[in-house]
Structure 1
Amino acid sequence: MHNIVQRKGQRGAVIVTVCLMLLFLLGFMGIALDLSRMFIVKTELQTAMDSCALAAAQELDGENTAITRARSAGMTAGNLNRVNLQSGTWDAQGQIVAGDITFRDQNFNPTTDPVVANYAECVHTQPAIRRWLLSALGAFSGDTTLYPATGNVWARAVATRGSSQTNCPIPLALRPKTPNAPAPNFGYSPGEWVTLLMGPGQATSGYIGWANLDGSNSAAETERELSDGACGTEVGDSLGTPGVQASVVDVWNARFGLYRNVGNPADERPDRTGYSYTTTNWPSGASAYNGPTPAGAHPTAANFVTKRDAYASCADSGTQMNGPNGCASIIGYSIGGGFNQIVPPGANVQGGHWQYGINRRIALVPVTNTYPGSVEDYACMLMLQPLSIPMQPSIQLEFLGRAGEPGSPCVTNGLPGGAAGPLVPMLVR
């Protein structure tokens, strides 16, 4: 009888020991799982901060509106990255706000002066990340101090602009105005309009035109390079000869906020403004980037920098393709081909240039003396007009200078670390 009682007592002791061990193991498992979740959220948040800083730094061009644009770009890019296990809305207190983005000068001192702002810094705390198992342990033990139900995650990123090794130009090429005209202006004057795509009945090429940056003549490659960017392009790379390609109309016009019915600005992002320039609404045919409004200009006309700050559409203050102040009237020709969706204008407008707009019309264009040939340098150019179906007028870009010059408005994507290449945003912290 004594042995039976003893064995029962031992079994009871084993049960208590196992329960304690299970509780102990559950605690370790809870710590491991919850810390793993916090690590995932931290990684997601760091990605958002990196995107925020890179997008903000891209806008630091010394213009008076640089900080305003940088904050807008940083919030847009950062908030496109989902955080908290890819939550579509993050959390109620989650997303990046303007106060999370600050700026520093070249000596890394805080500044609010857009002229000297050189670094963009994005800092954000993601609050109240739920701890599943640890909160259960807190409820079980009654000690919510030792086992808090939520925790915060913090991330920071700093970016600036620097010279590149590789770049992401668009699939066009510019020939110097006179053979072998040297940098920085290749024979052009800043503000000069250059015809790169010729209309019907005109010469087959202007100062060149379409040029695939992988050396091919594939129409599909032209479209891909214009949509995604020919990232990885370097001086010396071969240029292809695809000719005029109708397949690029959709991706070209998306930069102006013009879409067919199936178009989606969340996928094919527009520039911050779709306002376009021809001699119909800008009679001087020059200096549309930041020049004075010429005599005889359309009543809505103002330079690109001004329109960008107002997030103006191709129709300036609305979404009409036709009508007195519609897109077609302002630019002087019909787009055709079903392009009747215009991204709405205005600050703080959801679904418009303010929400989806990024730097897409100030473009990096390779320079070459021969065609077919190879990339010899890069020009910074402003895309002035949308393409029409069928193609009607010649399409022009405004020459803004050599892309690698200090203060150039051209900032491309690519690999940083070059000696004197076009500027790229790069992370430094």
Structure 2
Amino acid sequence: MRRVRSKRLLKDESGATAAVFGLSLFALVAIGGLGFDYARLAGMDSELQNAADQAALAGASQLDGQNGACLRASAAATTLVANLTLLANDGDGTAVTLPPEPDCDAAGQIRFWQDREKTTAATDDGNAHFIEVEIAARTANYAFTPLAGAMRGDLGAMALAGLGSAICRVPPVMFCNPLEAIDPDFNVGSYVGKGIRLIANDGGANYAPGNFGYLETNAGNGAQATAETLGRDAIPGDCVAADGVTTKPGVQLSVLDALNTRFDIYAGNTNNPCGTDGSLCTPSANTRKDVLHRGNQNNCSYSTGNGGNGWKEPANAYLAPSAAVPMTVAQAATTAPMGYPRDMCHAISITGSCADGRIGDGNWDYMAYFRTNSASYPTEPTSADRIAWFGTDTPTRYDVYKYEMANSATRLVNQSSNGLTARSTPYCSSSSGVVPGTTTPDRRVLTVAVVNCQAEGVGGRTADVHVTKWIDMFLVEPSLSRTRTEASDVYGEIIGETELGGGGGTSGNTVRRDVPYLIE
């Protein structure tokens, strides 16, 4: 009996797997522990990356190019959002913290860059366009993986963010930097108060310095859609990207008639974009211009020649006798009431003789202007008068425009001249005109994109075009065919660089909307 049991014991295989299981148990425990600890490590990675993302987005929201942008961005990145890590167990607590960075540079854990490729470090608030945030490494001490020889895992995080901006409530107009070859940055401060002659790109597909055109805003295709964006009080379409714009193809010279409604001039082709009564396109409360009126309120278009009714160029219109020397008192005495004139170096001929070509020198004949508008200025203003009224002896046209609007009862007086009437407040429009305010745009101020068209290769529809500057420009005169002007011209005076809510002293003209975005 014992012999049989011994044989069975020798032949019994029921516990054969125990040895295998015992040998593999170490590996199984290690694999399970690795999975557990890896899950903790992956969770900590998500926590730290989320902290970096939120800090970068918070910081990017402050990169507006204004003074103190970097300091504000650093403060936002470090204090705006409190982030925690619950999976790090290195003894440093649960808070994810960043040391502040007071300087605009690419040092430390908060770094500022000029470009998204991170090749050029920022040097000041104006060129700090992107913020990079680095979260210092935190440690997860493993619970089970040490069985396999690994003790801990260290992870950090990094995020890069920028600020996407849009310009809203403005006609989508751009022009090619007239001085791209010598001033590609378009130093606006050098041009404030100077006239600028912009002409439509009617000579070919590619834009040249001094050409102007339009930007795509999804307002629709065709001339009528563009006219609506230029003339209407409530501008249709989307906001315009502050950078990376898309140009709109087509010359569309007729759409400038819609721009002229801002001067109380209504052509027949403005009925569709502006309504048959023009109520969708109201003029400025100050419509002072160099064309005079004959007829009634049904005669509201412009025509050349001496006959007919409507808006006309007077036979004795202002024609600058010199590119540098103002009119004499005797010459002004025989000149029709003037609108705000071009710089003398532009007013000497159609093309002008200004040293900077399309950009003038800021010297306009303001004394001839005051003398010819004798109903509004019965006494010739002295130097003391000009300083008292405008704050300077040599006012800009925009200075005079604002002063006259504020004193319209005495400074925007109708004046007859050889059967025509100079009307400087709305006559054709049923509206009394728009007076700009905190939330009301000025109808004679345009916010315009400045583009280096040659460097950007702008021609027809061109996408992702870099905007060098946004500027505010005062509309000096309507776009009409006269003795020394062409209907394809837009002539303005540079007010200054656009700022939030309207730049260069304007108000209500622009709304800038900024949205921070992650890059990596």
TM-score (norm 2): 0.37
Could you state the TM-score of these two structures normalised by the residue count of structure 1?
0.44
Larger radius of gyration: 2
